[in-house]
């Protein structure tokens, strides 16, 4: 699989994905680095057929509500707080 890792996540995640047999780039590798706009990240993901990995909820809202959809996977991190 091909991934694009967003700025809010560590670049080391790309190494972890590569070790698992995937291909991944981090926004630091893009021309605007971690200042790459959400819309451009979405365009790159669609053009290069990459799945974006992000924890930026504003980014997700922007893409789903205001722009065209690419390939997305939403995952809520686990917390140590017990569920009520």
What does the pLDDT look like over 31-49, one tens digit per residue? 999 999 988 998 899 899 9
pLDDT digits (tens, 9 = 90+) for 15-34: 999 999 999 999 999 999 99
DSSP letters for 13-74: HHHHHHHTT-EEEEGGGSTTGGG--HHHHHHHHHHTT-EEE---HHHHHHHHHHS---EE--
Pairing of strands 71-72, 51-53: parallel
Contact between 52 and 25 (Cβ < 8 Å): no
Q: Does pTM surpass 0.85? A: no
């Amino acid at each position: 699989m091909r991934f694009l890792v967003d700025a809010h996540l560590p670049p080391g995640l790309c190494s972890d994905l590569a070790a698992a047999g995937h291909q991944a780039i981090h926004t630091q590798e893009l021309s605007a680095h971690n200042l790459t706009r959400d819309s451009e990240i979405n365009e790159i993901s669609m053009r290069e057929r990459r799945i974006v990995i992000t924890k930026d909820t504003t980014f997700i809202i922007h893409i789903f509500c205001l722009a065209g959809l690419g390939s997305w996977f939403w995952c809520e991190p686990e917390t140590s707080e017990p569920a009520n």
